[in-house]
Amino acid sequence: MYKAGSPSASRSPAAASGAARETGDRTHVPQRTCIGCRKKDDQAVLLRLVRVSMEGVNAVRVDQDRRMSGRGAWLHPELACLRLAVKRSAFPRAFRGAVGITDVERWFKALEDVPTGNGFKTVQPESGSEI
């Protein structure tokens, strides 16, 4: 994946002399800073958050497909980082103003309680006194 700037990209193979392009430079992974722990990490492992406006209210959404436009921020998909971000007021800072993060919280909540299907729940009602 590379961007060819010239509109008249001549596809003549004669120019291929070094074959440097085929080596695949792996060090070119974009780095982003987590707004929670503020550590840099590969863009691929971070969760993209984007600000959306709904009826004049700004809210943060989890942009899982990374296709939404708008002001974005990055966060590790870890509850610890979310907590840190909240604690540090990273959201209003990253999005330049007050934003609702209900959507993000919901996303993290869904992460936590992974659906266990029809698992056997061995939750027993309190049966009074033990013998």
Q: Which of 36, 31, 30 is nearest to 75 (CA)?
A: 36
Any idea what the Cα angle at residue 21 is, between residues 17 and 22, rounded to 5°? Answer: 100
Site for Zn ion in 63-92 (CB under 5 A): 76, 81
By CB under 5 A, how many residues form the interface with Zn ion?
Answer: 5
The least distance separating Zn ion from the CB of residue 48, rounded to whole angstroms, comes to 13
Q: Alpha carbon of 29 to those of 1, 13, 111, 123, 130: distances in Å?
A: 12, 28, 26, 46, 59
Is 108 a binding residue for Zn ion by CB under 5 A? The answer is no
> Shortest approach of Zn ion to residue 36 CB, angstroms?
4
For residues 30-59, which are near Zn ion according to CB under 5 A? 34, 36-37
By CB under 5 A, name the binding residues for Zn ion. 34, 36-37, 76, 81
